[in-house]
Each structure stands twice: as C-alpha cells, then as structure tokens.
Amino acid sequence: MSYRTIGTNVPRIDAPGKVTGKTLYPGDIVYPNMLHMATLFAGRPHARIRALDTSAAAAAPGVVAVFTAADVPVNEYGLQLKDQPVLCGPGSNKPGADVVRFVGDQVALVVAETEAQARAACKLIRIEWEDLPVLTDPELAAPSLAGGLDGADPARPVPFQLHPHSADNICYGYRIRKGDIAAGFRAADVIVEGVYQTPVQEHAYLQPEAGVAYVDEAGRVTVEVAGQWAHEDQKQIAHALGLPLEQVRVIYPAIGGAFGGREDMSVQITLALAAWRLIQRGIRRPVKTIWTREESIIGHGKRHAMKIWARWGARRDGTLTAAQVKVIADAGAYMYTSNKVLGNTTLTCTGPYEIPHVAVDTHAVYTNNVPGAAFRGFGGPQGNFAAECQMNKLAEALGMDPVELRLKNVLTDEKLLSTGTPIPGGVGLTQTIIAAARAAGWTQDEAGHWHKPLADSRSPIPNPQPPIRKGIGFACGFKNVGFSFGYQENSYARIELRGDADIREAVVYFAGADCGQGNHTVVVQMAAEALGIPLERVKLIASDTALMGSAGSASASRLTYMAGNALRAAAEKALAAWRNEDRPAVGEHVYLAPKTTPLDPETGYGKPNFAYGYVAQAAFVAVDTETGQVRVERFVSADDVGKAINPQQVIGQIEGGVVQALGYAVLENWQAKDGYVLTDRLSTYLIPTVLDVPDRLDALIVEVPDPNGPFGARGMAEMPYLPVAAAVAAAVYDATGVRFDEFPLTPERVWRGLRGRQKTPGTA
C-alpha cells in the first residue's frame, strides 16, 4: 500500500507556536479582571479535621472567597470509584469526607485578587486536627495478603479501616487459574523464584498543574486545563458540582506533558467549583490557579510501587511449563485507576509467553501514601520487570541464551494468553526480538542457537579498567492497546468538507489530547490520507467538549489507533456526502473497537483486549564497582508499531520512553517516610539530564500490521518503556554477577548489593 502522507515525517503542526513562545499552556492564559486561587493541601497523611476556621483568611487583604468541603455540592470524585472527597473537612454531604488520607488531599480553596494574597490567606486557615494512625505498607494494611506466594491467610485481621466502603483495605484484585499449576511445576526440570520490588515514580512533566475557569456566555462552567480526556474531566466536574453534563465545558490548550499523571483530576473540579460558587454570589470573574512544583508532586498520583512474588518452571529444552505469580500493589489513599493498572500487571507479570499452567493473584491495597495512578505503561512495566527477570534467571539456570529462550516461548499469532484466549493477530514480537538481538550484536549459529556478544565488544572502551565492569542485558515485552477488559473503547470524529468542485478545506473535530506525543499532527496526517487531499487543507479543531464528542483518553497507547479508525470512517461518510453534493459535506462517526470481555473472577478466563504492541531491547552498561554508579552507555529498542504514521514522531516516543524508563531503572529515587514525601522538588527527585542518557540509542521500527489498526498502525507510546528496567538489571548482573530484584539501581543500592548488604538504613 502506498500512501501520500502516512509514513512521512510531517513536521509537527504545534511546533512553530512552541518554538516562538506563542503557544499558551494553561498557566499562560490571562483574562481581564481575573482572580487567583490557592489550594490548602492537607500536609498530613491521615487525620480527621475536627474543625476548620476560615474567618481570618476570608478577612485577609484581597480575599474574595474561601471554599471548603461544605461548599462542594456532591463531595466525591474518582475515575473508577468515587472514593475521594473534592475537599476534605467537616460539613460535607459525603460520609468520611472529614478525613484526609494522604498529604495531597485538598482542604480549602482561597480566591483572591492576586496569587500572593491567595497564598498568604491560605496560611491563615485554622484547622483542628486529630491525627490518626498511618498505614504505609500494603502488607500491613491488608495482612490477609501477606506471606508471599503460599502464605495468604484471610483470617488475619485488618489493623483499621481506611475507607468506609472497604472492610479489608483491598481496593481491587484479579485471579487467573489456567491449567493445573501443580502439574506444571511437576513437569518442570528447572524452577526459579524471585521476590521483586518496583518503586514509585513521579511523572515530573515540566508543566505543573494549572488552569482557568469561568462561566461562558452560554452559562457553562468552563475550565481551560491540561488533562488527558476532556470529556471525562467534564463528567467528573458535572458530578461534583451536581450539574447536568451540558452545563460544563472543558477546553484543553497546550499540555505540558502528562504520561498518565493528568488522567485523574487535579485542578479541574476545584477551579470549576470556585467559578460556579462565585457566579452564585454575583461575581462573574475568571479564576486561575497554578500549582507549584511541590504541590504538583504531592498533588497527583504516582506509578504504583509493587511487590511481586514469582515462581516459574521450564523443561530442560527451555519450554515454559508453569508460572505462579502474586502481586501486591500500593494503591495509596484512593482508587484512581488502580483496577486498570492492576489488570495490565495481571497480564504482563507472566510475560509475552505462552505458558500452559498459570496461577496469578494480584491485589491493590489502600494505604496513606500518595495514590498509585496511571503512568506510561499502566502497570505493565512492573509486571514486565518480574517476568523478564524470571526469564533471565531461567536462561541462566538452563544454560541457554536469553534471546533463544524467549524466541522458544514467545507469543505468536493464535497462541493462548494466560487468560485462555488467543492473542489478537498480527503479533510482531518474534520480529522485534530478532531485530533487537541482531542490532545489539547477537549472532545465530548454523544449528540455530543464539549467542550473546562479548560484553565489551560494542563499547567505546574495549577493555574496561577496574573498577569499571561492563555487561549486556536483554528483555522484551508486550502491552495492550486501550483500557478494555470489557470496556467498550470508543472514539468520535467529525469531518466537514468545504469547497465547490474541489475540497478547499477539511475541518476535523477531534477531542483527543495532545500531551506532547504529537497526536494532533498524526490526526491531520491520517485525515488527509483518508480524504485523499493535501495536508495543508486539513484544519483541526481539537479538545473542546462543547464542539465535539469524546475521543476517549490520551492513554494506554490508544489514541492513534482509535483516532485513525474514527477518522477513516468519518472521512468515508464525508466523502459520500461530498459526492452527494452536500456543502459542507459532513461525516461524523463514533468508532467502536472490537469487543472484549472482563476476566472471569475465579479463573481469569476472557478476551481482555483487542490489540497489543510489542518491544524487545538490549542494554549495555558500565558499572563502577567502587561507587556503585551504573552508566547505561548504549541502548537498543525494537518496537513493532504496526505502521509508523510519522516515523520521526515514533522514534521520538521510543527515545523519550526509553530515557524515562532509564530514569525509573537507575536514577529516580522516590522517598517517603510515614506518608510524608521527602522528594517533593526537582532538586531532590532527580530526573535524567542530557548527560545521563546513553551515548547511543538505536530506535528500530518494526512494522507488522495490526489487522484492525488504521493503516495497520498499533499503539506504541508505552511499549518502549516496558522492558527497560529488566534489561538494565540483566546487564548489571552480566557486569557484576549480582542480581538486583529491586530498583532503582542507585549508586548506593548497587554498592550495597556488591557488598552483599541489603537494606538502606535511615531511609524509607
């Protein structure tokens, strides 16, 4: 198939505005007569607010209004479960809303003439606190789950309940029983075990949360904000304000990064609440807020920390026979998307392999930590780390090359997932493994066996001097495109064609969020292709709930896939109308992705997803064995993207995803103690600088078409993230002979590991 714009490196349509400083992000928007809002955060991990006195704040200079829990019409919200108060405190209509459950719970809003006045007045709010005991360890919060693979005991009592609705502090769980796990282990010649611990990660998008709210000329409470799903924001706001959906409008200006961290509400509801309550008091003025970096870091959810117990078996020839896995995820104070995150962990924790006998139990547990939330990969990286470390241990135990072991067991078309149903077709995993292995220097002999390159043959310094040791590691992975697990994925697109004989202009209405990943550019590309017109004639109107239907979330590597299918159908309809001489010719379509099912609660049987993406990677590291510093010198990532709509942007996603995951693997060291966050700044929570990235990153695009994807494309933005930590851990093992089942591989952790020591005293 030859295309006109698909597959070409069209420059991003948003780049000119961004390089000249003209593009407006939420914090850049200024309206005349605007007020400013500051938020009072709890700052305590678990406490009851006995009383709250706002009189001094209300009387402070410049203050226009102070809002508390009593001002919230329906004081609850949450994407998957409405278990979080908008504002915590007494006088609320929501039971239990007088309790703060993590440091980032919000207590009050102060609206003033200036930001400085609003912030100063916040400090004048008097609160009578009753501190409550704090639970930060999921195994202590839900003792029935403790005890590893075989040790759970439902009889163990819960210390205390964190939510009225949850008696056992367990917020979600999945269970898979495929085949006969005992028989699977009996059939194994080799069994390996591991207990893996994956850390919290902060999104650290460069733009802190911000927005502006006002009531528009149609009487709609309007919020201009950076989010990931405008129509879901609209729904959450409408629910909390007790308003009909059509009386709420959400608009996304430019979004300064998201990575999942903007999926849950931050300033959306509070801004809307302020604008709405002000109007009721006769004050018709826009309200703006900007969170500081510290507020951003405590105020939005994080990647879930997980503890994963794994026991896998294989025959001597490398055939996997059994995998038994248990996962406990720290959900933190509220549900957020823990159920969805855990679903992906449930699938990825047994790897992209066909295994006849599988037993998986996964649990998400409430604690008083900052909530676990969506973050690139959505639970996939955690499960992947355990699975791929298990595979590398098996390869060693079997004396088999890790690439060869993977190729032997890997999922291919029609093979069965752990959920008992075939994987959707077009599986490109084998191709990505071969591409990554070859690029990294693996060779295959005449008998078909694979051989790892020497650790130092591809490194800049061929013979490292002590104390430097070098190593190579390999890992691969898969992840679903879209949320699914029975959820009907959908996306709206509308195309209006204008002109006379020829199409002069095509106006595309599409609500998807461009968080920086380049969605709007590929939407224009795909629309131009579907319409058969030059790119320059396509105009995109995006991300305004008043003008278009829902595109669904900019999440789960789903947006290109969903948008493309919606646009293709809308284009077909618009072109039919065009041929019918309609002017403008309008085509509107809601694309529904192929049907999926939830997993059976007892066996996990089901068809959870309609498409997957695939990736394989190799890491080259140099370890300073005296300081423990790990330097990733080179990295190879091969990604099956189905069809690269815009190869330059695809490579940008691979590079960005790999570096973000390298931060997760070796650098980013989230620290909290007793529910308090110790790393709430960019000077204490360190993310990679330009000097911290590998000298060389080979981003390889593999294109095995997805049968249902637009132009063959499948989702791809999360997949390059997935196997990075496991590949790096394998490389560090190759270099040092020490296994690390826990990361980040900070200098001190590696230093301890090399000395056979374990825990870091004095830090959480």
Partner 1 sequence: MWQSYFAPGTVAEALELLARYGDTCRLIAGGTDLILEIERGIRAPQTLIDISRIPGLDEIGRLGIGDSFTLGANVTHNQVVASADLVAHAFPLARACWLVGAPQIRNRGTVAGNCVTASPANDTITPLWAMDATFTLASRERGERTLTCAEFFRGVRQTALRPEEMLVRINVPALKPTERGTFLKLGLRQAQAISVVNVAVILESRDWGSGNSPIPNPQSPASNPQFPIISHARIALGSVAPTIVRAAEAEAYLAGKELTDEVIAHAAELAAAAARPISDVRGSAEYRRDMVRVLTARALRQLRAGTERADWPARPVLLWGKANPRIGKSAHAALSVPNPQAPISLLLNGKPTTLPTARGKTLLRALREDAGLTGTKEGCAEGECGACTVWLDGVAVMSCLVPAEQAEGCEVITVEGLADLAPRPASHLTPQPPSLPGKGEPTSPPPILGEGPGVGASPLLAGEGPGERSPAGEGPEERLHPIQRAFIEAGAVQCGYCTPGLLMSAAKLLEEIPQPTADQVKQALTGNLCRCTGYYKILEAVERTVVR
Residues 678-697 that bind partner 1 (CB under 8 A): 678-679, 681-684, 686-693, 697
One-letter identity of residue 474 = F
Q: Which of 238, 524, 577, 725 binds partner 1 (CB under 8 A)?
A: 524
In this chain, which of 64, 176, 659, 731 binds partner 1, going by CB under 8 A? Answer: 659
Task: Give the E-state strand segments of 343-501 in sequence order.
Answer: 357-366, 372-373, 443-444, 450-451, 468-480, 490-499
Q: What is the pattern of x (binds partner 1, CB under 8 A) and - over residues 98-117?
A: ------------------x-
**Closer by beta carbon to partner 1, 49 or else 118:** 118
Residue of 51, 59, 206, 592 interacting with partner 1 (CB under 8 A): 206
11 interacts with partner 1 by CB under 8 A: yes
Instruction: Using CB atoms within 10 Å of the CB of residue 294, give its burial: 0 to 12 exposed, 13 to 18 middle, 19+ buried.
Output: middle
Q: Which is nearest to 640 in space by CA: 472, 391, 425?
A: 425
DSSP secondary-structure letter at 410? B
588-617: which residues touch partner 1 (CB under 8 A)? Answer: none
**Site membership for partner 1, residue 674 (CB under 8 A):** no
| 282: Cβ contacts below 8 Å, ≥ 6 apart | none
Q: What is the largest CA-CA distance in the chain?
A: 84
| Binding footprint of partner 1, residue count (CB under 8 A) | 108
Site membership for partner 1, residue 651 (CB under 8 A): yes
Under rule CB under 8 A, residue 532 binds partner 1: no
User: Nearest distance from residue 5's CB to partner 1, in Å?
Assistant: 10
Cβ 381 to partner 1 shortest distance, Å:
16
195 sits near partner 1 (criterion: CB under 8 A): no
Do 363 and 139 form a contact (C-beta atoms < 8 A)?
A: no
| Minimum CB distance to partner 1 smaller for 20 or for 580 | 20
Planar angle of CA 483, 484, 487, nearest 5 degrees: 115
Q: Which stretch binds partner 1 (CB under 8 A): 384-392, 446-454, 600-608, 645-653?
A: 645-653
Closer CB to partner 1, residue 348 or residue 543? 543
Residue 574 one-letter amino acid? A
Query: What's CA 431's distance to the chain center, in Å?
Result: 26
| Angle made by CA atoms 159, 677, 110, in degrees to the nearest 5 | 100
Residue 56: C-alpha distances to residues 60, 91, 98, 120, 215 (Å): 6, 19, 21, 11, 28
Radius of gyration (Cα) for the chain, nearest Å? 26
CA distance 166 to 219: 39
Residue 286 makes contact with partner 1 by CB under 8 A: yes
Measured between alpha carbons, how far is 209 from 267 in angstroms, rounded to an integer?
Answer: 7
Least distance CB 681 / partner 1 (angstroms): 6
| Interaction of residue 315 with partner 1, rule CB under 8 A | no
Please give the residues from 459 up to 488 whose contact with partner 1 meets the rule CB under 8 A. none
| Minimal distance, residue 307 CB to partner 1, in Å | 22
Q: Is 633 in the site for partner 1 (CB under 8 A)?
A: no
| CB 230 to partner 1: min, Å | 10
544: contact with partner 1 by CB under 8 A: yes
Question: Which residues within the stretch 343-382 sit at the binding site for partner 1 (CB under 8 A)?
Answer: none
Q: Does the protein bind partner 1 through residue 570 (CB under 8 A)?
A: no
Using left for φ > 0, alpha for ψ between -120 and 50, and beta otherwise, residue 580 falls in: alpha
What is the closest distance, in whole angstroms, from the C-beta atom of residue 57 to partner 1 in the complex? 18
Least gap, CB of 491 to partner 1 (angstroms): 17
- For 130, list phi and psi in degrees, rounded to 5: -120, 100
- How far is Cα 271 from Cα 221, in angstroms, rounded to an integer? 9
Residues 210-249 that bind partner 1 (CB under 8 A): 212, 214-217, 222, 224
CB 715 within 8 A of CB 648: no
User: Any contact of residue 280 with partner 1 (CB under 8 A)?
Assistant: no
| Residue whose structure tokens are 């189905």 | 642
| Amino acid letter, residue 170 | I
Q: How far is the CB of 351 from partner 1 (least distance, A)?
A: 25
Query: Shortest Cβ distance from residue 373 to partner 1 (Å)?
Result: 16
- Please state, in angstroms and rounded to a whole number, the distance separating the CA atoms of residues 452 and 320: 21
Return the residues of window 546-565 that contact partner 1 according to CB under 8 A.
546-547
Smallest gap from residue 290 Cβ to partner 1 (A) = 8
Separation of alpha carbons 635 and 656, rounded Å: 12
φ/ψ of 301, rounded to 5, equals -65, 170
HSE-up (13 A, CA, CB side) for residue 688: 20
As separate numbers, helices (DSSP H) first and strands (DSSP E) second, the chain gives: 17, 29
> Is 642 an interacting residue with respect to partner 1 (CB under 8 A)?
no
- Nearest approach, Cβ of 286 to partner 1 (angstroms)? 6
Choices 64-72, 171-179, 257-265, 704-712 (CB under 8 A): range interacting with partner 1: 257-265
Among 440, 542, 727, 728, binds partner 1 (CB under 8 A): 542
Q: What share of the chain is helix, strand, coil (3-state, %, to 5)?
A: 30, 25, 45
Interaction of residue 751 with partner 1, rule CB under 8 A = yes
User: Taking CB under 8 A as the rule, does residue 19 contact partner 1?
Assistant: yes
Q: Is 15 in the site for partner 1 (CB under 8 A)?
A: yes
Does residue 332 interact with partner 1 by CB under 8 A? no
Structure tokens at 242: 């007790």
Candidates 83-91, 510-518, 611-619, 703-711; binding stretch for partner 1 (CB under 8 A): 510-518
- Least CB distance to partner 1 at residue 1 (A): 22
* Residue from 271, 220, 217 nearest 243 by CA: 220
Dihedral angle of Cα 305, 308, 314, 318, to the nearest 10 degrees:
10
Binding to partner 1 by residue 50, rule CB under 8 A?
A: no
Q: Is 252 in the site for partner 1 (CB under 8 A)?
A: yes
Please spell the DSSP secondary structure of 269-281, one letter per residue. Answer: HHHHHHHHHHHHT
* Among 286-294, 474-482, 561-569, 730-738, the segment contacting partner 1 (CB under 8 A): 286-294
- Paired tokens of 36: 């400013």
Residues between 697 and 736 with contacts to partner 1, criterion CB under 8 A? 697
Shortest Cβ 689–partner 1 spacing (Å) = 4
Q: If residue 308 lies in a helix (H) or strand (E), which one and from where to where?
A: strand 306-314
Stretch that binds partner 1, among 8-16, 41-49, 578-586, 615-623 (CB under 8 A): 8-16
DSSP-derived letter for residue 16 is: H
Among 386, 421, 561, 570, which residue's Cα sits nearest to residue 494?
A: 570
Q: Which of 346, 660, 708, 736 binds partner 1 (CB under 8 A)?
A: 660
CA distance 566 to 564: 5
Q: In the set 627, 674, 707, 737, which binds partner 1 (CB under 8 A)?
A: 627
Stretch that binds partner 1, among 167-175, 200-208, 602-610, 702-710 (CB under 8 A): 200-208
Which is nearer to partner 1, 463 or 689 (by Cβ)?
A: 689
Segment near partner 1 (CB under 8 A), from 53-61, 166-174, 253-261, 549-557?
A: 253-261
- Stretch of 98-106, 173-181, 458-466, 665-673 lying at the interface with partner 1 (CB under 8 A): 665-673
d(CA 441, CA 596): 40
Closer by beta carbon to partner 1, 438 or else 539: 539
- Residue 727's closest CA among 638, 650, 642? 638
Candidates 22-30, 356-364, 379-387, 578-586 — which segment interacts with partner 1 by CB under 8 A? 22-30
Q: Which is nearer to partner 1, 548 or 577 (CB)?
A: 548
| Span from 158-166, 329-337, 436-444, 648-656 in contact with partner 1 (CB under 8 A) | 648-656
* 89 φ/ψ sector (left φ>0, alpha ψ -120 to 50, else beta): left
Q: Beta 221-225 vs 248-251: how paired, if at all?
A: parallel
